[in-house]
Structure formats: C-alpha cells, structure tokens
Structure 1
Amino acid sequence: MSQTVGVLYIWWRGQQYECVDGSTIKLPGWKNNTQVTGGSVQRYQSFAAGEVKCTPVLKKGMSLDAFDTGVEGELQVKSTVGHAWVLPDAYILEKPTLSDMGGKAAITFNAGLYQEVISS
C-alpha cells in the first residue's frame, strides 16, 4: 500500500514550528493566463510566486515577532513521506494574528525560488 502525505512541518529561519493540520504549499513557477481575442482564445505565461500557508502554534517562550514581515529567510517544508522543499528567498506577507484558542497564528509565505529534495 502506498503512503501519502500526512503532515507538513516547517522551519522558518532555522527554527522549527509545529503547525495544525491544513498546511499547503504551491511551488513558484510559470502559469498560463487566458486572453480572449474576438472569437478565439490565446494564452500567455507569467511567473507566479510560490505560496506556503500554515498555522504554527506558539508555545511558551516563543516570540510572535519571529514572523516579521521585514526580513527574508529560508523556509523549509518537510512532509511525512520524505519530501522536502527549501525556499531560500521566502518572506511573510503580513504579520499573523495570534488566537487564544491554542496559540494559533496563521501565516502566508511567498517565495520565488525553491529546491525539492525527495528521499526514498
């Protein structure tokens, strides 16, 4: 039986953060756009930023300010099946809002570069 991705783990600027279920990753790259011209359809390409959405849990002693929008850094995303993605130029779109329901702080990262590592 094949194993599928169960959980994504993140490391932001060298610090590991545990996240609640529901994290997503979309790799940066070229995308197709549609241009309608009269009675026909054309396409053109543009570059789309990569996106990682996750909700880390802040524990006692952790700083919410670690998710500063003023810095770029390395974001690592690892899965339970051995896949990993390193995004060296990641940045946070906006400061997270901290919830009192378990210390959740939803974050969206963007990046333009990535390297994928697949272990067997």
Structure 2
Amino acid sequence: MTISRALALIATVVLASGAWSQGMPIPKPSPGLMPNPTLGKALFEKNCASCHGERLDGSDKGPPLVHRIYEPSHHGDIAFQLAAKNGTRAHHWQFGDMPPVPGVTPDDVAHITAYVRMHQRRAGIR
C-alpha cells in the first residue's frame, strides 16, 4: 500500500468516525455499484456545476474541485457523500457553508465523485 493510499484510508476512517460519533448517518452507495464518470458528468452538471463551475474550476458561489485541497488523501470520497447529504461548514474557502443537496442519492454522489476524481487525475492530483 502506498503512503498516499494509507493516508487516504486513515482520513476516511477519521471522517467516518467523526460523523458516526456525532450521530450522522454515513451515506453508502449500493453494494457492488461501479461508479461511472460518464453518469457523474450529467449529475454534476445538474446538481453541482452552478456553484463548483462547469469545468470544476469554481465560481463566485463555490470552490474549484480540481484543486489539491480536494485530493483523495485530504478529502476522501466519504467527504463528498457527507457534504451532499448534510452540507458542510466553510473551512477552506470564503464562500460560506455548503447546504445539503436535496434529491441526490449516495449512488449519484459516487458517480459524481468518479467524475471529479477523473478530472483531478488528469490535472495530476492523485
């Protein structure tokens, strides 16, 4: 296991345990789901692009997702699940808190995350 994968695993465990200890349900995609970036693109455009930018480069409403802050070792996939379900406090940027995204399922978020990760890898973010 590489150091970055080990750190990502630790970050995921820490985030999950923090959510669990606060009584937050941890959203989980369907068992056996194969996240698909192509499906994620359409879901991103519908649910995320108005704040995070059509090209994931941010807007005046939300931060860019193709940025080292959102690399898997710092914001694991579970962070995307928790943010979509529960919203999140502003903690890296000055855009204000992110509200929950109604109507987006854990499967949808898994597809969106696959789309974001694909673009991050293309930009050299691993």
Per the normalisation by structure 2, the TM-score is: 0.27
Q: Which has the higher contact order (CA 8 A, sep 6+)?
A: 2
TM-score (norm 1): 0.28
User: When you count strand as a share of all residues, which structure comes out higher?
Assistant: 1
Larger Rg: 1
Choose between structure 1 and 2: higher helix proportion.
Answer: 2
